Amino acid sequence: MSMDYKDICLKVAELSQETGRNLKALRNQQTPEAESKGKNDFVTQFDKDTEARLITALSQLLPDSGFIAEENTSDKKGATHNWIIDPIDGTTNFIHGLYPWCISIALMENEEMVVGVVYEAGLDECFYAWKNGGAFLNQEKIAVSNRPAIADSLIATGFPYTNFSLMDQFIESLHFFMKNSHGMRRLGSAAADLAYVACGRLDAFYEYDLKPWDVAAGALIIQEAGGKISDFHGGNNYLYGREIIASNSLVFDEFLTKVSKFLK
């Protein structure tokens, strides 16, 4: 029996909206206490509680599924289906009362993404896609931009905050893109960056040292919106390889050439 990806996707979108709105209301009532997982890498009780609630709800939706989740609330592994969850992508923004921050949920079937949902709380926007179904923002179909060159593009990135091994090369890339594009943005949530590429607000995005739960949902949404994703070498190791570039399909080759030149 084949799985109804659309039905699952719409249920997960609804779950993410409900969870995100509740989280936003709670955040407005109390300031999160941050615990450090490592240098500049924070977690709050909000992250842990949200992840636990999502795991409970997603387990009811697909009882045999497993989880790859940032806060390790569940170590269950599914034979075929695994959810990849970031309960709050942009925790540092969340702690400081800034937006964007997102809930990111993807469903992996064997090694393939089949459902992706990113809910951004500040603007109450839910981005979602399912395999071969297109990409959507709050029920409206979305597509990547059609800007043809870096010179016409608005580019997003994320600054390194724990791994500074490529810092010099990264700064070089910033120099280039600042001078040769419409500008650079650093929003503080990779899930939002990817969602914004998918709907054409941004034309390209790159970052290193990201984890699977930062990029899994957004990557599928971009692909279903007509964009392209790769690692810095043009390959497919963006989920576990800790490096990702994403853009519309027109600027992709030029963008990949530049990013790989700086961050090889």
Ranges of each domain in the chain: 5-142, 150-262
pLDDT at 170 over 80: yes
Mean pLDDT in residue range 62-82: 88
SS3 category, 138: coil
Catalytic residue among 51, 71, 89, 207: 89
Q: What is the pLDDT of residue 249?
A: 98
SS3 category, 20: helix
Is 214 marked active-site? yes
Q: What is the pLDDT of residue 37?
A: 58
Q: What is the pLDDT of residue 36?
A: 67
Nearest one of 49, 47, 46, 51 to 29, comparing CA atoms: 46
Q: What is the pLDDT of residue 14?
A: 98
pLDDT at 32 over 60: yes
Token couple for 201: 């607000």
Is 89 marked active-site? yes
Question: With bands split at pLDDT 50, 70 and 90, how would you rate the model's confidence at 236?
Answer: very high
According to DSSP, residue 76 is labeled: -
**Higher pLDDT among residues 101 and 43, named by residue:** 101
Is 257 marked active-site? no
Catalytic residue among 68, 88, 95, 103: 88
pLDDT at 34 over 80: no
Mean pLDDT in residue range 172-182: 97
Mean pLDDT in residue range 7-25: 96
* CATH tag for 150-262 (out of 3.40.50.2300, 2.130.10.10, 3.20.20.60, 3.40.190.80): 3.40.190.80
Q: What is the pLDDT of residue 19?
A: 96
Catalytic residue among 68, 91, 120, 157: 91
* 5-142 and 150-262: identical CATH topology: no
Span between the terminal Cα atoms of the chain, in Å: 44
SS3 category, 113: strand
**Higher pLDDT among residues 45 and 184, named by residue:** 184
Catalytic residue among 193, 214, 224, 243: 214
Is 84 marked active-site? no
Task: Return the CATH fold of 5-142.
Answer: Fructose-1,6-Bisphosphatase; Chain A, domain 1 (3.30.540)
pLDDT at 231 over 60: yes
Helix orientation angle between 252-262 and 167-180, rounded to the nearest 10 degrees: 140
Catalytic residue among 51, 70, 207, 231: 70
Q: How many whole angstroms separate alpha carbon 127 and alpha carbon 214? A: 14
Q: How many CA atoms lie within 13 A of 168 on its CB side?
A: 0
Tell me what the pLDDT averaged over the chain comes to. Answer: 93
Q: What is the pLDDT of residue 38?
A: 58
Catalytic residue among 51, 71, 86, 243: 86
Q: What is the pLDDT of residue 167?
A: 87
Question: With bands split at pLDDT 50, 70 and 90, how would you rate the model's confidence at 164?
Answer: confident
User: Any idea of the CA torsion for 237, 160, 90, 215, to the nearest 10 degrees?
Assistant: -10
